[in-house]
Amino acid sequence: MAEEVYRGQQYKLRASAPMPVAQGYFVLHTFGAEINDIDIYTCTQSLPASHDFRGQGLDGGLISASFSRLGDRTGNYYQGRKVYSPQYIDEDELDFNF
């Protein structure tokens, strides 16, 4: 099996809890957005090391990773994803009209 990797991004709006302003009406106070680069592995033989994570090494750029073993005979193939450190931007800069 050959290694297959897809690069993508995930967006998260950073906001406080909704504040009630009148009976049945709420205001959502937002304060920016996060964009994370993600790598999605459909098949790989290598897993990230501890020093690849933020705070664990000098070059650590990952904030999370999740992998599971594929059901082949050797047990050496995995699928999963890596999530890199976020970039913080103003939500007005986002264009969701893909």
Contacts of 25 (CB under 8 A, 6+ apart): none
Task: Count CB atoms within 10 A of the CB of residue 54.
Answer: 13
Query: What pTM did the predictor assign?
Result: 0.72
Pairing relationship of beta strands 62-69 and 87-89 according to DSSP bridges: unpaired
Mean pLDDT for the chain?
85
Residue 98 lies in a domain: no
Pairing relationship of beta strands 19-22 and 25-27 according to DSSP bridges: antiparallel
Residue 73 lies in a domain: yes
Query: How many structural domains does the chain have?
Result: 1
Residue 10 lies in a domain: yes
39-93 pLDDT tens trace: 999 999 999 999 899 888 777 789 999 999 988 778 889 999 999 999 888 766 6
Domain that holds residue 74: 4-93
58-71 pLDDT tens trace: 777 899 999 999 88
Among the listed residues 12, 22, 18, the one whose alpha carbon sits nearest the alpha carbon of residue 86: 12
Among the listed residues 83, 70, 97, the one whose alpha carbon sits nearest the alpha carbon of residue 34: 83
